[in-house]
Chain A
Amino acid sequence: MAREAMRGHKGWGQQWGSPEPRGEYDVIIIGAGGHGLATAYYLAKEHGVTNVAVLEKGWLGGGNTGRNTTIIRSNYLYDESAGLYDHAVKLWENLSQDLNYNVMYSPRGVMMLAHNVHDVQVFKRHIHANRLNGVDNEWLTPEQAKEYCPPLNISQTARYPVMGAALQRRGGTARHDAVAWGYARAASDRGVHIIQNCEVTGIRRGGNGQVTGVETSRGFIGAKKIGVVAAGNTSVVMQMADVRMPLESFPLQALVSEPVKPCFPCVVMSNTVHAYISQSDKGELVIGAGTDQYTSYSQTGGLHIIQHTLDAICEMFPMFTRMRMLRSWGGIVDVTPDRSPIIARTPVSGLYVNCGWGTGGFKATPGSGHVFAHTIANDNPHKINAGYTIERFNSGRLIDEAAAAAVAH
Chain B
Amino acid sequence: MLLIHCPYCEEERPELEFRHAGEAHIARPADIASISDEDFAQYFFYRDNPKGLTFERWRHIHGCARFFNAVRDTVSDKFVTTYKTGEPKPDLAEAANENKPQAKKGRGSK
A and B from one complex: yes
Q: Which residues of A contact B (CB under 8 A)?
A: 199, 201, 233, 235-236, 239-240, 244-249, 293-298, 300, 302-304, 334, 337, 393-396
Whether B72 sits at the interface, judged by CB under 8 Å, is: yes
* A247 B47 Cβ-Cβ under 8 A: yes
How many whole Å from A194's CB to the nearest CB in chain B?
Answer: 21
| A396: B residues at CB distance < 8 A | 37
How many whole Å from B2's CB to the nearest CB in chain A?
Answer: 7
| A246: B residues at CB distance < 8 A | 41, 45-47
How many whole Å from B49's CB to the nearest CB in chain A?
Answer: 4
How many whole Å from A402's CB to the nearest CB in chain B?
Answer: 12
* B41 A248 Cβ-Cβ under 8 A: no
Q: Chain B 38-74, CB within 8 Å of chain A: the 1/0 string?
A: 1011101111111100101000000000000000101
The answer to whether A248 and B47 touch (CB under 8 A), given A199-B108, A303-B1, is yes
* A239 B47 Cβ-Cβ under 8 A: no
How many whole Å from B102's CB to the nearest CB in chain A?
Answer: 14
How many whole Å from A354's CB to the nearest CB in chain B?
Answer: 17
Q: Which size bracket describes the interface of B in this complex?
A: 20 to 34
Whether B92 sits at the interface, judged by CB under 8 Å, is: no
| B42: A residues at CB distance < 8 A | 244
Whether B19 sits at the interface, judged by CB under 8 Å, is: yes
**Contact sample, A vs B, 28 pairs, CB 8 Å cutoff:** A199-B108, A201-B108, A236-B49, A236-B50, A239-B110, A244-B42, A244-B48, A245-B46, A245-B47, A245-B49, A246-B41, A247-B49, A248-B23, A293-B20, A294-B2, A295-B20, A295-B54, A295-B56, A296-B77, A297-B74, A297-B75, A297-B106, A298-B74, A303-B1, A337-B44, A393-B44, A393-B45, A394-B40
| B98: A residues at CB distance < 8 A | none
* B56 A294 Cβ-Cβ under 8 A: yes
Ranked 4 nearest A-B pairs via Cβ: A235-B49, A246-B45, A293-B20, A393-B45
Whether B76 sits at the interface, judged by CB under 8 Å, is: yes
Whether B15 sits at the interface, judged by CB under 8 Å, is: yes
Whether B9 sits at the interface, judged by CB under 8 Å, is: no
Measured in the bound complex, the distance between the Cα atoms of B76 and A297 in whole Å is 8
* A304 B54 Cβ-Cβ under 8 A: no
Whether B95 sits at the interface, judged by CB under 8 Å, is: no
| A393: B residues at CB distance < 8 A | 41, 44-46
| B108: A residues at CB distance < 8 A | 199, 201, 236
Q: Chain B 72-86, CB within 8 Å of chain A: the 1/0 string?
A: 101111000000000
Pick from A297, A303, A304, A337: contact of B51, CB below 8 A.
A297
Which of the listed residues B54, B75, B76, B77 has the most CB atoms from chain A within 10 Å of its own CB?
B77
Find the A residue at minimum CB distance from B18.
Answer: A293
The answer to whether A394 and B1 touch (CB under 8 A), given A236-B108, A294-B72, A297-B74, is no
How many whole Å from A249's CB to the nearest CB in chain B?
Answer: 6
Measured in the bound complex, the distance between the Cα atoms of B42 and A376 in whole Å is 26
Measured in the bound complex, the distance between the Cα atoms of B77 and A239 in whole Å is 21
B residues 11-47 touching A (CB-CB < 8 Å) = 15-16, 19-20, 22-23, 37-38, 40-42, 44-47
* B38 A394 Cβ-Cβ under 8 A: yes
Measured in the bound complex, the distance between the Cα atoms of B45 and A329 in whole Å is 29
The answer to whether A298 and B49 touch (CB under 8 A), given A304-B16, A393-B41, is no
Measured in the bound complex, the distance between the Cα atoms of B27 and A239 in whole Å is 22
Which of the listed residues A293, A295, A300 has the most CB atoms from chain B within 10 Å of its own CB?
A295
| A302: B residues at CB distance < 8 A | 1-2, 15
Find the B residue at minimum CB distance from A199.
Answer: B108
Find the B residue at minimum CB distance from A250.
Answer: B20
How many whole Å from B46's CB to the nearest CB in chain A?
Answer: 5
* A244 B46 Cβ-Cβ under 8 A: yes
Measured in the bound complex, the distance between the Cα atoms of B108 and A101 in whole Å is 35
* A304 B46 Cβ-Cβ under 8 A: no
The answer to whether A337 and B45 touch (CB under 8 A), given A199-B108, A236-B51, A239-B110, is yes
How many whole Å from B36's CB to the nearest CB in chain A?
Answer: 9
Measured in the bound complex, the distance between the Cα atoms of B17 and A304 in whole Å is 12
| B106: A residues at CB distance < 8 A | 297
| A395: B residues at CB distance < 8 A | 37
